[in-house]
Chains A and B, each alone.
Chain A
Amino acid sequence: MTDRREVLRRGLRLAAGVALLAGCSPDRAGKRTDRIRLWVAPNEAEEGFWKIAVARWNALGRGLPVEFTTIPTAGSSEDTVLSALVAGTEPDLSTNIFSGFAVQLAALGQVEDLAAMPGYTELIARRDMAEITPGWTQDGKVCALPIYSSPTLIWWRADLLEASGLSEPPRTYDEVYGFCERYGQARSRFGMQVVSGRSWADRWFDFISFYYAASGGQPYLRDAHALYDNEAGLEAASFMDRMFRKGWTALDFDAEEPLVSGLAAGGVRGPWDVERFAKIYPETLERIQVGPMVARGPTGPGPVATFSDSKGVVIFKTSRVRREAFDFLAWVLGEEELNLLWLRRTGLSPARGDLLQNPRFAEYYRTNAIGRVYAEHVASARPPALSEYTIDIQKIMTTRLVEPLMTGQLKPAEALAQAAARTDQMLKVQM
């Protein structure tokens, strides 16, 4: 009997141990209210900025102190944020959120509508974001605020352009064709890298960028309907098709950075590539001239529209210091001095519409030719369509539109019609 009691006692102890382990489940009630927890992108440049900004905020004593760490990720930020939300270990604020993921989080009721926060309108006015926020607004709600806007533009090797008789980067399809005819050599030297890669995300840097340029920044998706099977879509698709059919571009450029050897004289690149080239290929960077996304002809006054690879910041609904977190956010995004610090540290243009008019930023852009071209396009750059089905939409774009154009299986009009129809069909099932 004694032994049975002992067994029972041990069993209870084991149960207590298991209960203890089970206690490692989300404890949202235990979230702190004495400080604001912030996650920032895990890269040296951005971390350096936040270190200074957070130290200044804490020294000012204007609100709750902020504690920041980089997103503890080995893979993608999205996976880490998601895991943290499920485990209940998410911070109050997180940066490095792309708009499609923000929409997914909003659909799951995990992020705060920032447009409803007191002080939102003042922040938009102070940061001159009126032209930028529509791309981040869905049904009047803003689930993430863009910190920076990185337009996609075409980098050209100025020395190779010059050798082919061009003093500035091509702006139209015809100029690109003319250059490719002079520069290209069958299967060994190509005028331009047209397709950025195989992943769904690469469509932002090829078809979507070309489509925005051709359409003057018109959306390619609205509600549950693909809009790119139109005149602008046909122009962009025909351009890609002709480049492949004529052999002026390769199926991929995975073996090397084509701009360095001149394997391709041009390719779509973002401002984040400036730092990469400065570190690895400084000599090539000196020969780079940045041109706009090409289109058939001018699509309107001002800079040509293009895609904006922006990352934003969200406030999680589970936070118990949402108001205080927004106060911090409004301060850090609204302070021009901090925006300039961001620009100097990261080289990424803050998402604001007055970069070239505001004298505070003029000095930086006077000495930074590449940064200036990117800044010129911040206002005309459009973010991706706000959809929680971004991956499926762009996978269809890859398999039904871009790949058939690469291999010549379909004519541009057929590929466009097929991709748009399949997207509509998929969205109809999902929604």
Chain B
Amino acid sequence: MTGRRILSREGWIGLSLALAYMVFAAIFWAYPFFWLAKLSVTQWRFFDEPVFTGTRNLVRTLKDPAFLQALWNVLRFLVMYVPIAFCGALLVAFGLRHVGRGKAFVGLCFLLSNVSSGVALSLVFTKIFSSTGPLNDLLFDLLGIRIPWTSHPTFAMLAIALVVAWKFAGYYGLILYSGLLTIPGEIYDAARLDQAGPFTRLVRITLPLMNAQLMMVLVFAILVSFGLFTEPFLITGGGPADSTVTPQMMIYETAFRRLQPSHAAMMSIIVSVTSYALIAVARRLLERKVTLA
């Protein structure tokens, strides 16, 4: 035992290489994580010592109608966002399949909206959706109507869903495109021989065989919904009647505007648990194991 080395030379090299990440993770992940957990069960206002309060923050948060409204708003957002984003992404994916030369360039162009500044695009869309903006002017000229995009609870959420879908449709489309590429052409040939039309091929072959990619996009969409901040913050300010307030906006305002970081810490834990639970439910209900025999 005394003569045995604890780690081989390769082991030391491996440990040294991993050390940088471990230190990084310890400082920027583990420390904030434990601090968050501690904060959530204490009362702390930035300058005093945290005082243990047990479940007080939990009860307070679960009884807070504004926070529950924010969680409900996430679900409302998902109901609008998921179909719009999926339709957009499928269009991108199918479109890419028909692009001949310059496919990489076209793919990168779709990613541009994803890497654009959320602040900049929110400001642009704020102008577009204004009651006196170009979109309403066009609708008024064509149909004689103006839509209260940012001052009606449902339209306001729809406006945000459209903006976020526009931002992510290209990214999701590339993920779905990678799934499309894995489907062998022979399956479609066989389906055509069986007289299957385009719609049947889509719902019986394409979508089921892309289950893995669709699930991935759905998980991303759920994560985006729970992390939503910039667009509602800038486009609607959370209004009207708090109908577009998101949990991230609540957390930010509670921690840095109301100066109640402990309360905000508990909110963030509840948001994490809720998003995890929703993803687990979605996977349980929709995920299928796809094998090509």
Interface set of A (CB-CB < 8 Å, partner B): 1, 3-4, 7, 17-18, 21, 78-79, 82, 85-86, 104, 108-110, 187-188, 197-200, 250-256, 258, 263, 388-389, 391-392, 398-399, 403, 406-407
Contacts and interface: CB of A to CB of B under 8 A. Distances in A.
B150 interface: yes
A104 B259 contact: yes
Interface stretch (B191-199, B207-215, B220-228, B250-258): B250-258
A3 B6 contact: yes
B5 interface: yes
B151 A406 contact: yes
B132 A252 contact: yes
B47 interface: yes
B45 A255 contact: no
Given A3-B5, A79-B256, A255 B47 contact: no
Nearest to B260: A430
Nearest to A187: B146
A78 B255 CA distance: 12
B33 interface: no
Given A250-B131, A255-B130, A392 B236 contact: no
B179 interface: no
Contacts of B130: 252-255
A256 B137 CA distance: 13
A7 B6 contact: yes
B27 A21 contact: yes
Contact of A407 (B151, B238, B259): B151
Interface string B16-53: 00000001001100000000000000000111000000
Q: Main SS of the interface on chain B?
A: loop
Contact of A197 (B47, B237, B253): B237
Contacts, number: 89
30 contacts: A3-B6, A4-B6, A21-B27, A108-B45, A108-B46, A109-B47, A110-B47, A187-B146, A197-B237, A198-B150, A198-B236, A198-B237, A200-B237, A250-B132, A251-B131, A251-B150, A254-B129, A254-B132, A254-B133, A254-B150, A255-B128, A255-B133, A389-B258, A391-B258, A398-B239, A399-B239, A403-B151, A403-B240, A406-B151, A407-B148
Given A79-B256, A110-B47, A391-B258, A256 B5 contact: no
Contact of B239 (A1, A79, A403): A403
A407 B128 CA distance: 20
B95 interface: no
Contact of A108 (B127, B253, B259): B259
Interface of B: 2, 5-6, 23, 26-27, 45-47, 126-134, 140, 146, 148, 150-152, 236-242, 253, 256-259
Given A187-B140, A199-B237, A254-B127, A85 B47 contact: yes
B141 to A, nearest CB: 10
A155 B50 CA distance: 50
Contacts of A104: 259
B257 A255 contact: no
A19 to B, nearest CB: 13
B253 A391 contact: yes
Contact of B257 (A4, A197, A391, A399): A391
B250 to A, nearest CB: 11
A4 B2 CA distance: 10
B256 A82 contact: yes
A357 B292 CA distance: 89
A256 B127 CA distance: 7
Contacts of B26: 18
A245 to B, nearest CB: 15
A198 B244 CA distance: 12
Given A21-B27, A187-B146, A82 B151 contact: no
Contacts of A197: 237
Contact of B256 (A17, A18, A78, A199): A78
Contacts of B131: 250-252, 254
A110 B240 CA distance: 35
A188 B151 CA distance: 18
B241 A399 contact: yes
A29 B97 CA distance: 65
Given A82-B46, A391-B253, A406-B151, A399 B242 contact: yes
Contacts of A388: 259
Nearest to B240: A403
A82 B242 CA distance: 26
A110 B259 CA distance: 13
Contacts of A86: 46-47
A254 B148 contact: no
A206 to B, nearest CB: 14
Nearest to A200: B237
Given A82-B259, A403-B239, A255 B127 contact: yes
A228 to B, nearest CB: 19
Given A198-B240, A252-B151, A403-B151, 18 more contacts: A1-B2, A3-B6, A18-B26, A78-B256, A82-B46, A108-B45, A108-B259, A197-B237, A198-B238, A200-B237, A251-B148, A254-B131, A255-B130, A399-B239, A399-B240, A399-B242, A403-B239, A407-B148
